[in-house]
Structure 1
């Protein structure tokens, strides 16, 4: 008897995790990725304990932690350098059962892709759902002149998901958050500093060391949609953040202009009615794109992938199993999206009185309850994936 077939559209973190998890459960998986290669640049990814526990279920948690930097002592600062709050990795370990770890997104993608059979991943292939399938009819995916029949299709094709548009054509799609973001990975030998996120007026900056000595940096600022620098993005970063506390100016100065990613940040303001239709499921940004203020976008995609694989047994009815997947994931991710957006509104305040009150509240909370900043991840980072066989 042949193994049931699954086609995953999109080879980001969520899609690759789904492919690995489904393969572990006995599915024959094909991953179709429109990009010519899997070479994500300029970005790190923070994995909270919830995502690490998911990777543990597919046997990759320890390998990921071995590649990653453990986030140690650091905290929240003002642009002039004053500490608003300080945290230690031990605080997160006690509260959530593990520490947040940080690694280059390319390292995680490479590890996941390496777990797939040699012929499972096909790059340079733009795919679309021709038929989402039903309980009695397989799904169909069209890729150029080729068509795939599948017992299960996974739409992991990001915030502008074509799969989502096929499943839910009436949904309004992503909304602009009001701010843009920059990301880069910087080589600065010998630079010693405490990891930090810095909140200004309508802007923030983050500096996080990677295990190999490089530094993952990110910035965001309130800005019109589709904006761009009049010269280059490095000059734009210097204009916006060049007078902030050390080491921010030094990190920007060391950044290669070609390595800076700039993206407007959008999110799915209106939740989807479900994360599936027929034999086709959505995961990650295709299902619930969120703002980055809780650093949970990739983490929730990994959760989706593992929960999906838990529910869709090779011998079962995928259409019925996907009902359970939606029931598990839709309420949780809707809440994470909401909380992330709420955190973003606080972070990106522009009014000087409001930002002063925000900073005062952060300092006071840190004094009265030193671990108060971790409350934002209560109920999120302490989550564990389902165990055992689905019923």
Structure 2
């Protein structure tokens, strides 16, 4: 079937859903609250499953042309000693993951949409959206989704016990991996032709409050191996972003209610530890369009989407949460040493 789809949220999941449905002949309308479509400039790891979704969206070749392969990963101690290294593409079947900035991916998706399909500065009320005259309403409005809250008031983001920072620095480095210390970690993702992308996580109570980012990060990672101090110093204070890491607890009972459906973080927000958040949003979009293709009953098609996506994304969220806790632990050294290699080998990390 084809029809009219209203998509609330102009992030990766929302834009990908619009592209997937537009390619099937749907009239799509994206509503984004922000004054312009933009995403944080953080680097995304695009695993083979997501690359297949990008092919289905018609931008796979464009992504491969500008996204370098992510073939080698190192896990180190704060003093720089190597714990383990992984040749990612050789750990299982299929191609290596690729690395692309979120903003670059969103630009590629936007280019696939017709003029006038995206409405920015559009603060559409969730109850108005749910009652709108459309064949399908897609809730793609992120971890704090108002569409999900209207459908499932009990399903809300829960703080996972850590705060995270991210930024980019014009620093040259060959280090691609993570460094784990007691209760904290630091990761570096160099992107070809881009500043180095980094992130940091700290185990902290929910009421933890910070001073200036630079001051706090200098203290947390003082004495850690190069290039970590250089990355912190080279990142402007105003460009360091801080977030509280959250996950949906309880998860929504279903991803589809009547003609409304949830995709991306609105459906299954997860910690970033497996690098699968954007990947799963892309797969959601392609699966949604495939379920609607040729369907006579949109309600049944959305139920099929729910059956296809709810279980694997919940499994992914659980695995990501477990890895998050292990990677920030103050104890369990053996579990911490093997966690990255196990995560890269598990089917859940590639499904």
TM-score between both structures, scaled by the size of structure 2: 0.94
After the TM superposition, which residues 132-281 of structure 1 pair with which residues of structure 2 at under 5 Å, given as runs?
A: 140-141=131-132, 149-169=133-153, 171-188=154-171, 191-225=172-206, 227-230=208-211, 232-281=212-261
Mark the CA change 1:373 to 1:153 in structure 2 (over 3 Å): closer, same or farther.
closer
70-79 vs 215-224, greater mean Cα deviation: 70-79
Specify which of 335, 354, 357 is matched with residue 334 of structure 2: 357
How has the CA–CA distance of structure 1 residues 77 and 99 changed in structure 2, closer, same or farther, with 3 Å as cutoff? Answer: same
> Larger Cα Rg: Structure 1 or Structure 2?
1
Q: Is the 8 A contact 2:89 2:97 kept in 1?
A: no
RMSD (Å), alpha carbons: 2.0
User: Structure 1 length as normaliser, TM-score?
Assistant: 0.85
Contact 1:50 1:380 (C-alpha < 8 Å) held by counterparts = no
Query: Which residue among 98, 102, 106 is the counterpart of 2:99?
Result: 102
Where 1:281 maps in the other structure, the secondary structure is strand
Q: How many correspondences in the alignment?
A: 351
Q: Which consecutive aligned stretches of 4+ in structure 1 deviate over 4 angstroms post-superposition?
A: none
Q: Distance in 2 between matches of 1:5 and 1:373?
A: 40
Deviation at 1:343, TM superposition (A): 1.0
Deviation at 1:75, TM superposition (A): 1.3
2:302 corresponds to which residue? 322
CA contact (8 A) 1:26 1:314 kept: no
Q: Report the equivalent of 1:41.
A: 40
Aligned twin of 1:111? 108
Q: 1:173 to 1:332 in 2, by over 3 A?
A: same
Structure 2 SS opposite 1:69: coil
Q: Which runs of 5+ in 1 are unaligned?
A: 133-138, 142-148, 384-391
2:324 aligned residue: 344
1:287 to 267, 279, 282: 267
- In the TM superposition, what whole-angstrom CA distance separates every residue of 1:292-345 from its partner, at most 9, and x where no partner exists? 111111111111111111111366221111110111111111111111111111
